[in-house]
Amino acid sequence: MNPKRCDAIVIGAGMGGLTVAALLARKRWKILLLEKEGRVGGYVVSFKREGYTFDATGTFLGGCQEGGEFYQILREIDAHEAIEFIPIHHIRNIYPGFEISLKQGGFSSYADALTDLFPEEEKGLKTYLSLVKRIGDEIRSYSGITLAKRILFPFYFRNLIRLHRTNHQTILDRLFRGGEIKMALHTLPATEPPSRLSFLFVAALISKALMEGVFYPKGGMGRVSRVMADSFLNSGGEILLNTKVDQILMKDGRPAGVLTEEGKVFDAPLIISNVNPNLLTKMLPPEFQRPLLKKTERFEYSLSSFILYVATDLDLNEMGLPYFTYVRALSDLEEEYQMMRRGEIPKNPTLIVSVPTLLDPSLAPNGQHILKILVIAPYQYREEWGKQSPGKRQQIKEEFCQKIFQQVESKLIPDLRNHLLYYEAATPLTLERYTGNEQGAMYGLASTPEQTGHLRPSHQTTVPGLFRVGHYARPSHGIVGASLSGLFAARAILKQMA
């Protein structure tokens, strides 16, 4: 393919960009994918250090079973057989005063465990799960909406309409009495506390992903983006790495191509952006920025995270450690969130510890394990993690690593620091630098009721011929959420061009 002449240019090879590029390439579109880094994947990458394969960010993904949402996307691009997904069964959630440990099953067995712990809340839990299921059914039905259903929308989608402004706290308070079960039900992949998290997002997540189980890709998270890139290349697509887009060139009110940082021009009548909305706006000539700015100024990002990558010679299998452990020390989720928004981190922050080598031993040399320890963290901590001076940056990072090690040793793995073979950490600044996600926003737009469902930015921007995908667009954040945004954008583009 001549990269100078293509049907569409995709800016950014995150999950959204890779998905839309691979799907359009399967339809014989000539697609050029431009990525500023030396590899594809955005947040979904693995990296090697001294014989260890670490996942930069993600811990699990849903919808990978046959017929699942992500499986269907992989199938559509003929990549479903190129990757093996290992089901994650063994999880342990530790809360102040109680814990839930599961060896088998997904969210339904989690709910059973909650009933055993809090029998007095059984009725509320049944109502909660039934509501979640009904919303899940409505969302599924919405994706294949017929004209009849469109006309009778309020009848078929009454929960989506009724609850679109509702946060998780409202539902939890309505159905449960105790604070502990509310805390346990809010153990979700989102950085917002119950008062800010959209209940529709929660219901979609539980009904679609968590109920059906979650998975880990054999070979590491980076395998997911690599197989998508391979499918794209096999369909005739072209990827240019280390190519940062600087400007979107316009002609007669529509995109005409892009200008890269190195001064190269690539022409295309259609541009699909997988980058942060502010960066996208700045790529446009001033007269096209204003309508986009009106919306982006009001956007609220999710929080970021600090990630500690560790290798150890401890036998974590023998110690009975599960793949996934969630350790919460503070019981007030709202207070923890408010601290973070002020740029502070609690003395004992919540930890999310995963051990990928328990599922895939090939990620480390024989007899050794790797751990990833994730802490939700604000971008503004200690004046943006001491960015003014490299010495200060290193000092703050190291202090934080030791704080996390201490907590992991006291709650989970005694003596870990005497068995370290390697460790390294990433701050929110690292996340921002590698992916262009402003403030290191780990989930893009926060999933508040105001930024969920039809209120989340759609794939078509205010500029004709300019589309957006990724976790700042519909339907949601997450690996599968971002990939679905690529699927929906591809469908919208194909429909418009038909």
Ligand X SMILES: Cc1cc2nc3c(=O)[nH]c(=O)nc-3n(C[C@H](O)[C@H](O)[C@H](O)COP(=O)(O)OP(=O)(O)OC[C@H]3O[C@@H](n4cnc5c(N)ncnc54)[C@H](O)[C@@H]3O)c2cc1C
Which residues bind to ligand X, rule: CB under 6 A? Answer: 11-17, 34-37, 42-44, 57-61, 189, 244-245, 274-275, 279, 305, 307, 374, 431, 435-437, 442-444, 470-471, 477-480, 482
431, 37 contact by CB (below 8 A): no
Chain position whose Cβ is nearest to ligand X: 14
Closest to ligand X by CB, 239 or 316: 239
Strand residue runs (E) in 96-157: 98-102
Closest to ligand X by CB, 363 or 482: 482
Closest to ligand X by CB, 131 or 303: 303
Closest to ligand X by CB, 57 or 325: 57
Which residues, in sequence order, are CB contacts of 207 under 8 Å at separation 6+? 132, 133, 135, 136, 137, 139
User: Minimum CB separation from ligand X for residue 237, in Å?
Assistant: 15
User: Minimum CB separation from ligand X for residue 36, in Å?
Assistant: 4
Strand 98-102 to strand 245-251: parallel, antiparallel, or no bridges (unpaired)?
A: unpaired
Q: Sheet holding 245-251: strands in order across?
A: 245-251, 254-260, 265-267
User: 430 - beta bridge partners?
Assistant: none
* Separation between Cα atoms, residue 89 and residue 106, nearest integer Å: 7
Closest to ligand X by CB, 160 or 245: 245
User: What type of residue sits at position 125?
Assistant: L
* Separation between Cα atoms, residue 485 and residue 467, nearest integer Å: 11
Strand residue runs (E) in 245-347: 245-251, 254-260, 265-267, 271-273, 304-312, 324-327
User: Minimum CB separation from ligand X for residue 151, in Å?
Assistant: 34
User: Minimum CB separation from ligand X for residue 440, in Å?
Assistant: 7
User: Minimum CB separation from ligand X for residue 44, in Å?
Assistant: 5
Closest to ligand X by CB, 14 or 378: 14
* Separation between Cα atoms, residue 448 and residue 445, nearest integer Å: 8
- Concatenating the DSSP letter of every residue in 174-222 gives HH---HHHHHHHT-SS-SS-TTTSBHHHHHHIIIIIITT-EEEETT-TH
Closest to ligand X by CB, 221 or 314: 221
User: Minimum CB separation from ligand X for residue 170, in Å?
Assistant: 25
Q: Is the alpha carbon torsion for 103, 55, 379, 243 positive or negative? A: negative
User: Minimum CB separation from ligand X for residue 393, in Å?
Assistant: 19
DSSP one-letter code for 58: -
Closest to ligand X by CB, 36 or 182: 36
* Separation between Cα atoms, residue 390 and residue 385, nearest integer Å: 10
φ/ψ of residue 291, rounded to 5 = -60, -35
User: Minimum CB separation from ligand X for residue 370, in Å?
Assistant: 15
User: Minimum CB separation from ligand X for residue 222, in Å?
Assistant: 12
For the chain, how many helices (H) and strands (E)?
A: 18, 20
Closest to ligand X by CB, 42 or 217: 42
